Amino acid sequence: MENILDRFLRYVAVDTKADPTSETQPSAARELDLLKMLCQELNAMGVKATIDEYGYVMGSIPSNCDKDIPAVGFIAHADTAPDAPGNDVKPQIIENYDGSDIPLKGVPGLSLKPSEFPELLNYKGQTIITTDGTTLLGADDKAGIAEIMNAVQYIVEHPEFKHGEIKVGFTPDEEIGRGVVKFDVEKFGAKYAYTMDGGQIGEIEYENFNAAAASIHIQGCNVHPGTAKGKMKNATLIGMELHGMLPVDQRPEYTSGYEGFYHLIGFKGEVETADFTYIIRDHDMDLYEAKKAFIQKCVDFINAKYGEGTATLDLKHQYYNMRKQVEPHYHIVEKAMKAIEMAGITPKVQPIRGGTDGANLSFMGLPCPNIFAGGHNFHGKMEYLPLQSMEKASEVILNIISLYAE
């Protein structure tokens, strides 16, 4: 049986960065490299699996019980975030972590420091996987994939392990909000499912942000600066003026818990044109709608001041808070909590300050809470993953399956 670390390292070696500028599904052909690999691995283990034209991998393990047990699914996404490089990943393996700074050897002077990331100290004595400082690691969500595949291999190799029908799903493009837009829930065949896409050990989540993406284009007027008076409209400065209207205290770096935000994720500008891209988030639906309305109000103000057509807003909804879809089936959350406790871990029920495929799946008729995958500092070069957290997550999967089979 391949150990979970070696499996994870194989997966992160495959570049699967999503492309938010693409309209294809999946957004980048490179995502298929891992998705096809996973389909082949499932079939090689004796699990009937397919991959469709959109990149969705679906596998099924028949029940070995004579009881009526609902089919349960486990889902993870293969793509990585476009926020940092995802190619040529060089993981560092830190065994028996002693609590000191961890140099990220690909960038001289760069280190993971407990003074900046105090959660590191929770993993003293454990094995920690980090980046080398030049790329992200890809634990979001290749840790989830490795945990599911590890559990599948255990089930296949232990026929005495009792279970109902088990469904496995791997998706592309979760990181750009399109992870399940063409996912066939009926074909998948699960009554309930869990995404293995959470953060630190113990987390379980069934609430997430309502989410939108906003792109603002500023059209300026470039005139020679010597004769610019009353004529020039500097698109970059106008865009900065608009950005300055958004509340400073509603940025990610100043919010936590249920507090929403506007997050500037990209800017490109010169005198003639400028483009600003944002993500907008809030758990509360009314506050979410108010945030969308306010950014439109800012655009309207700019157009009133500088002329119609100066600012153009493209506002796209991404996903809704899954809570109202999951709560009527709260027993699936309770089973996950018990499964986490069975692994010797204290469950941490909390809202997701982000989103998962499970949010959209829940609105598509497949209630789908989110369980920890074990990583920290996702989407950046400071990402790290304690090995023991990944091992525990795979154990939790098996515990959930056992609880449904009782």
Structural domain range at position 298? 210-319
State the Cα–Cα distance between residues 131 and 142, nearest whole angstrom. Answer: 14
CATH number at 304 reads 3.30.70.360
Q: Is 79 annotated as catalytic?
A: yes
Contact yes or no for 86/15 (Cβ under 8 A)? yes
Strands 111-112 and 48-51: unpaired
Domain closes at, from 319, 336, 356:
319
CB atoms within 10 A of CB 226: 6
Residues 216 and 180 in one domain: no
For residues 32 and 118, membership in a common domain is answered with yes
Structure tokens at 267: 């800017």
Are 381 and 313 found together in one domain?
A: no
What is the pLDDT at residue 149?
98
264 and 171, same structural domain?
Answer: no
Last residue of a domain, one of 319, 348, 382: 319
The active-site residue out of 41, 132, 174, 391 is 174
Beta bridge partners of 193: 73
Are residues 228 and 141 part of one domain? Answer: no
**DSSP class of residue 178?**
-
What confidence score (pLDDT) does residue 2 get? 87
Q: Using CA atoms, how far apart are residues 93 and 387, in angstroms rounded to an integer?
A: 9
* Alpha-carbon separation of residue 52 from 58, 169, 172 (angstroms): 9, 12, 11
Residue 138 belongs to a domain with what CATH number? 3.40.630.10
Same domain flag for 274 and 355: no
315 and 329 belong to one structural domain: no
Catalytic annotation present for 300: no
Q: Report the pLDDT value the prediction gives residue 319, as an integer from 0 to 100.
A: 85
> Does residue 199 sit in the same domain as residue 293?
no
Residues 137 and 234 in one domain: no
Q: Which helix (H) or strand (E) holds 92?
A: strand 92-94
Q: Which of 118, 140, 128, 116 is nearest to 380 (CA)?
A: 140
Same structural domain, 341 and 201: yes
Number of separate domains in the chain: 2
Both tokens of residue 357? Answer: 């495929």
- Write down the pLDDT at residue 25: 94
Q: Are 220 and 274 in contact (CB under 8 A)?
A: yes
**pLDDT at position 58, please?**
98
At position 242, the amino acid (one-letter code) is: L
Per-residue pLDDT of the chain (406 residues), as tens digits, is 789 999 999 999 999 999 989 999 999 999 999 999 999 999 999 999 999 999 999 999 999 999 999 999 999 999 999 999 999 999 999 999 999 999 999 999 999 999 999 999 999 999 999 999 999 999 999 999 999 999 999 999 999 999 999 999 999 999 988 899 999 999 999 999 999 999 999 999 999 899 999 999 999 999 999 999 999 999 999 999 999 999 999 999 999 989 999 999 999 999 999 999 999 999 999 999 999 999 999 999 999 999 999 999 999 988 889 998 999 999 999 999 999 999 999 999 988 887 778 889 999 999 999 999 999 999 999 999 999 999 999 999 999 999 999 9
> Which residue of the set 79, 132, 140, 391 is catalytic?
79
Q: Rounded to two decimals, what is the model's pTM?
A: 0.86
- The DSSP annotation for 128-162 comes to EEE--SSS---HHHHHHHHHHHHHHHHHHH-TTS-
Give the integer Cα–Cα distance in Å for 213 and 262.
10
Give yes or no: residues 250 and 381 share one domain.
Answer: no
